[in-house]
Structure formats: C-alpha cells, structure tokens
Amino acid sequence: KAGVTQTPRYLIKTRGQQVTLSCSPISGHRSVSWYQQTPGQGLQFLFEYFSETQRNKGNFPGRFSGRQFSNSRSEMNVSTLELGDSALYLCASSLQLAGGNEQFFGPGTRLTVL
Amino acid sequence: AQSVTQLDSQVPVFEEAPVELRCNYSSSVSVYLFWYVQYPNQGLQLLLKYLSGSTLVESINGFEAEFNKSQTSFHLRKPSVHISDTAEYFCAVRDGTGNQFYFGTGTSLTVIP
C-alpha cells in the first residue's frame, strides 16, 4: 500500500497570504489528523476528520481550518498567514478514529512564512 | 487536558551503551501510550504502543517501554544502541475520555561512534 502523501512538500508564502495543504491517507483509512511541528513546541494537534466531519479540534485560532472529502483526502487551510505559522505540518491517517489505533504519518509540508 | 513531558531534549550516548528516554504524562485516567521515532527529513513512525495488558511493550528493533501507572510514566529503553538509532523520539498520550493525541516536545538521541 502507498503511504500517506502530502503536497506540496515545501511552500514559501508571505505574511497575510493564505495557503492550502493537501493530504492523501492510506487507502482504506477514514481518519485524518493534522499536526503542527515546530522546534520549540514539538507536535501540536490541529484537528481530526473522520467521515468528512471534524471530530476533534486542538487549541488553534480560527485561521486554521480543514475539511475532508468523500474519498478521505483532506485539506488544511491557513488564512492571513503570520510569521509564527512557519512550521512543518504533518498529516496522519488511521483506519478509524485514532483512539488506540496506530497513526501513519506523512513526510510533512514545510511552510515558511516571510 | 493531558500534558506530556519529555525531560531530556538531547541525549548523546556512545554506540553499544544503554539508553533511557524519559516520558511522563499528567493524568492517569485510562490512557493509550505511544513512542514515535522521526528520522531526519522523514515523517513519524510508530515505535511501540501500550493499549492494555502487559505493562512492558517491545519493538522489533530492540526498544522497550514500561507503563507505570503510579508514576504516570512510559520511559523508553534500549540495552545497546546503534548508530542507526540516531533520531528524534516523541512520546504521545491519548486518553480514553477524548480522542486527541498529546505529544511531548521530543528527545533528540545522538549515538556517538
């Protein structure tokens, strides 16, 4: 099976712009979670989608949003970018809601905000 | 909400020496515990997990971790490390009440030849 794929791998934007990141889960996986990884904060949970519905949400401002499509692919959108949004954004998929299940991570999208 | 503490941000260790990476979490209410490893320029990979049953869990590459409920800890150990173990290690907790993963800030393990 192909692993979790994320596009693009690298992205450079300027403050105030918006960005959309894409994640394709492993075939058959229905849950997709998003994380922000920064050197100082580690991994911070953004949100989880299951069957096209947001099931869990972390403590991020409303500028961060997401959605999931019927084929389980997910997109994450960040509007009005700030310098502090520079990070590695990781997507993870699992068969069901990621309770005790293993999450499989993609390679991430490196976002740089100038 | 849970919090996960990895006390050591960097751990240098000589090849073939033992290592312990520490992880403590805040709440002992029903939890699932995980260790993930991240090699340079790669995503996270699951190393091992505790869901229930035996408190000692092992990975295929020689790592083990022990769930200690009274101390709310899930330390990762390996009796003899290899150069290839150099990576970032993340401890994660998911509690039974919510469905959110909480990650520690990571421990960078560097194995010195």
Of the candidates A42, A100, A105, the beta carbon closest to that of B104 is on A42
Judge whether A105 and B45 are in contact, CB under 8 Å: yes
Other Cβ atoms less than 10 A from the Cβ of A63: the count is 13
Residue contact B46–A102, C-beta within 8 A:
yes
What is the structure's pLDDT at B41? 78
> Mutating which of A30, A43, A49, A93 best tests the B interface, going by the most B Cβ atoms within 10 A?
A43
Q: How far apart are CA B51 and CA B44, in angstroms?
A: 19
Of the candidates A4, A41, A102, the beta carbon closest to that of B105 is on A41
Torsion region of A100: left, alpha or beta (phi above 0 gives left; psi -120 to 50 gives alpha): alpha
Q: Chain B residue with minimal CA distance to A88?
A: B43
B4-63 per-position pLDDT tens digit: 999 899 999 999 999 999 999 987 677 889 999 999 878 899 999 988 888 888 888 899
Question: Which two three-digit tokens encode residue A96?
Answer: 């069901």
A26-67 per-position pLDDT tens digit: 999 999 999 999 987 888 999 999 999 998 888 899 999 999
B52-91 per-position pLDDT tens digit: 888 888 888 899 999 998 889 999 999 999 999 999 999 9
Q: List, in sequence order, every beta strand (DSSP E) within A1-114.
A: 5-7, 10-13, 19-24, 31-38, 42-50, 53-57, 64-68, 74-78, 87-94, 104-105, 109-113
B50 closest CA partner among B36, B34, B37: B34
Phi and psi of A47, rounded to 5°?
-165, 165
Phi and psi of B84, rounded to 5°?
-70, -10
Question: Which two three-digit tokens encode residue B34?
Answer: 């995980």
Torsion region of A16: left, alpha or beta (phi above 0 gives left; psi -120 to 50 gives alpha): left
Residues 11 through 70 of chain A touching chain B, CB cutoff 8 Å: 33, 35, 40-45, 48, 55-56, 58
